[in-house]
Amino acid sequence: MMRQRWLLSMFLLLLASSGAVAGVVLEQQIKDTTTGEIVRMTTYVEPGRLRIDMEGTAGATITIFRADRQVVWLIQPRERTYQEMTQRDIEQMANQLAALQQQREQMLKELPPEQRAAVEAMLKQQMGGGKQVEVSVRAVGRESVGNYSTTKYEVLADGQRTAVLWAAPLTELNLGPEEHATFAQFARFFEKLSQSAAQAGGSDLFTRYANVIEGFPVKVLSYDEGELASEQLLVRAQRQAVAGDKFELLPGLRKQEMPKPELEPEP
């Protein structure tokens, strides 16, 4: 659950020489308001390269995006393993999700009417019933968050509030346009998968409203069924030299295959 939330928070927000180059380091803290768990996230970004280090009670993960190679590495440093995602992998996963959606629809057709109605009700509650969610975002005012002057936005999915965020101008976070664009490149890397997820009932939040938001989020509140689920806060944003090997695979890692989507069992 926490992993899913950090992915959404990351989408709310939301490179390969050996020497050190100028970049931006963002330190954030994500609190699961239902469990009290706190995850610390450090993001290193420079034009075309992105690294996200996360650490919490469940362990540590590293995500590296390389626009020049069009690849994402998902690293589990304690297990010394990693998974690799290319555009081909994204396309295959999107096709698998589409196939699973067809299987789900066929399964529903074969169920008795009363049981089909019960399963459809469950799916509607869990994931929008397989229908694309209508997402809207609106600016609702200006507020100060710490030392940042921000615009406050409210995100609605099918009329229900799913997030509230406060975005500060890029200059206040030491982010340049090219570095900010790297986050959009990262989102576009998953675009086909996001579209398939949306068609299967997901909200595809980031890719559908990121261009509406001006600036970069310094605070994000995420909601689940109307209840506050997590709070993300930017602790530090600093321009500094970033070692080139930050965006390379760690030595001695063992590669693992990406898991395939599976059809959920009948209740």
Dump pLDDT digits (tens) for 221-249: 999 888 999 999 999 999 998 888 999 99
- Domain positions in the chain are 2-256
Query: What pLDDT does residue 69 have?
Result: 94
Residue 111 confidence (pLDDT) above 60 = yes
How confident is the model at residue 265, as a pLDDT? 45
Taking residues 177-186, what's their average pLDDT? Answer: 88
Q: Is the pLDDT of residue 88 over 60?
A: yes
CA distance 216 to 167: 5
The 10s digit of each residue's pLDDT in 53-77 is 999 988 999 999 999 999 999 999 9
pLDDT band at 93 (very low <50, low <70, confident <90, very high): confident
In three-state form (DSSP H/G/I as H, E/B as E, the rest C), the secondary structure along the chain is: CHHHHHHHHHHHCCCCCCCEEEEEEEEEEEEECCCCCEEEEEEEEECCEEEEEEEECCEEEEEEEECCCCEEEEEECCCCEEEEEEHHHHHHHHHHHHHHHHHHHHHHHHCCHHHHHHHHHHHHHHHHHHCCCCEEEEEEEEEEECCEEEEEEEEEECCEEEEEEEEECHHHHCCCHHHHHHHHHHHHHCHHHHHHHHHCCCCCHHHHHHHHCCCEEEEEEEEECCEEEEEEEEEEEEEEEEEHHHHCCCCCCEEECCCCCCCCCCC
Record the pTM. Answer: 0.75
CB 74 within 8 A of CB 58: no
The answer to whether residues 142 and 149 touch, using CB atoms and an 8 Å cutoff, is yes
In this predicted structure, the answer to whether residue 130 has a pLDDT above a threshold of 60 is no
Q: What is the CATH number of domain 2-256?
A: 2.50.20.10
Q: What's the mean pLDDT in 123-148? A: 75
Residue 18 has pLDDT above 60, yes or no: no
